[in-house]
A and B are shown apart, each in its own frame.
Chain A
Amino acid sequence: MIDPAWVSGLSALLFVIGLAGAFTRKNAIIVLMCIELMLNAANMQFAAAAVHHGDTTGWVYTIFAIAIAASEVAIGLAIFLAMYGQHESITLDDVNVLRN
Chain B
Amino acid sequence: MSLSIALMTMDHRQNHLESLRAGLSLLVYPIQMAVELPDTVSGWFRESLASRRQLQEENAGLRTQLLMLKAQRQKLEALEIENIRLRELLDSSFEVGEKILVAELLSVNLDPYKHQIVINKGDLDRIYPGQPLLDADGVMGQVVHVGPYTSTAVLITDTSHAIPVQVNRNGLRTIALGSGTINRLELPYLPNNSDIRAGDLLITSGLGGRFPQGYPVARVTAIQQDPGKTFAQVVATPMAKLDRSREVLLVWPGDFDITVPAATPTANQQAGADIQIVPEDAAGTDEASE
A and B physically associate? no
- Interface residues, chain A, with chain B CB atoms under 8 Å away: none
